[in-house]
Amino acid sequence: MTPIQECIQNKNSKLNPIWIMRQAGRYLPEFREIRAKNPDFIKLCLNESLSSEITLQPIKRFDFDAAIIFSDILMLPYGLDQEVKFEKGLGPKLGELDLNRLESINGNEFSKKLNSVYKSISKTSVNPILNNKDLIGFVGAPWTILVYMINKMSPKNNLSKKIFKDKLFVKKLLVIIEKFLKIHIENQIKAGVSIIQIFDSWAGLLEENISEYIYEPTLNLVNYTKKLGVPVICFPRGIDNYKNFCDVIKPDMVNIDYNVDPKKAVKEIKIPIQGGLDPKVLLSDKENLHKEVIKYLQIFKDHPYVFNLGHGILPETKIEMVEELVKIVREFK
């Protein structure tokens, strides 16, 4: 059993496994080297050889307890024939939506378009470096995918009012998204991932209708994944009530964001917990890093816990700070 699976299944586990979100990314010089030669991000995600190599880069360097496949949550709209491109300094830009076209796409078409992702997973999962480590597959939560598909860009600066304008359109789109997320999850599991993480990056945007847009569709995905025999981790970033989310959705593990009070979380949440550390701590000094990491490890010492961040690692993070982070976690007793 891998350290993370042990943490999920054994409530008395004293292990402190570690991996970090966006660990296969821009803070790594070896990743930047590949990226410089491959400016088209979507094509890079679909390059099964390079995406497998990128996935394993942080394992080779830091010996984390899990790899997470190098891909993107926006492969879902790409698989549904919505144009997806990434512009430097702006992030993702998505094309127009054609509901009739979306309703006509079948599972085989979708799977064929994303087949390179699944081939990359198959290639990566059999690599001996992952012996006794998990390979994590992932999807965006239905709400977050809905936001991107309608908003056509990150809602960080501007959330389109269209999201709530045409309720029938939104309802139909949500059904389509959920259908193909299930296909995407199943395909990743068949290809060899051992855990699925559901990223609800924009859960914190929603102030009402949380049950309709977050709880119900996410619960459907969690139940579906569990039926396929694979543990599922949820990351509802920015949501107001993590306890309520866990009580309703019942994932195998929840990733908390860096605005969550860990002392409150450990009292209220009964399931295994992952994450929490503010990625900005890795931009400070080793003394502060040690203090903050030990704080989380002490708080969760009697609770099943996987060390991770409360959001993705920042591109400007120095390698030596990540090395120090791993050392602190590994040496904690």
Domain that holds residue 190: 3-331
Q: Has residue 164 got a pLDDT over 90?
A: no
Pair of tokens at residue 124: 């990566």
Helix (H) or strand (E) holding 273, with range, is: strand 273-275
Q: Which of 6, 126, 123, 112 is nearest to 70 (CA)?
A: 123
Pair of tokens at residue 330: 């590994």
pLDDT recorded at residue 87: 86
Other beta carbons within 10 Å of 183: 17
| pTM (2 d.p.) | 0.97
Weakest mean pLDDT among 142-151, 205-214, 218-227, 276-285 = 205-214
pLDDT recorded at residue 156: 78
| pLDDT tens-digit map of 220-231 | 999 999 999 999
Q: Has residue 183 got a pLDDT over 90?
A: yes
pLDDT recorded at residue 157: 61
CB contact at 8 A, 251 and 222:
yes
CATH code (residue 104): 3.20.20.210
Residue with tokens 């209708």: 209
| pLDDT tens-digit map of 21-73 | 999 999 999 999 999 999 999 999 999 999 999 999 999 999 999 999 999 99
- Residues 261, 142: Cα–Cα separation, whole Å: 26
The mean per-residue pLDDT over the stretch 138-152 comes to 96
Dihedral of CA 192/197/202/205: which sign? positive
CB contact at 8 A, 23 and 279:
no
C-alpha 34 chain-centroid distance: 22
Pair of tokens at residue 247: 């009580």
Percent of the chain with pLDDT strictly greater than 70: 98
Tell me which of 278 and 161 has the higher pLDDT: 278
Pair of tokens at residue 266: 């450990």
DSSP annotation of 255 reads: E
Tell me which of 151 and 309 has the higher pLDDT: 309
pLDDT recorded at residue 289: 98
CB contact at 8 A, 322 and 27:
yes
**Structural domains in the chain (count):** 1
Confidence of residue 160 (pLDDT cuts 50, 70, 90): low
Q: Has residue 4 got a pLDDT over 90?
A: yes
Q: How far is CA 290 from CA 99, 264, 297, 332, in A?
A: 51, 21, 10, 11
CB contact at 8 A, 46 and 117:
yes
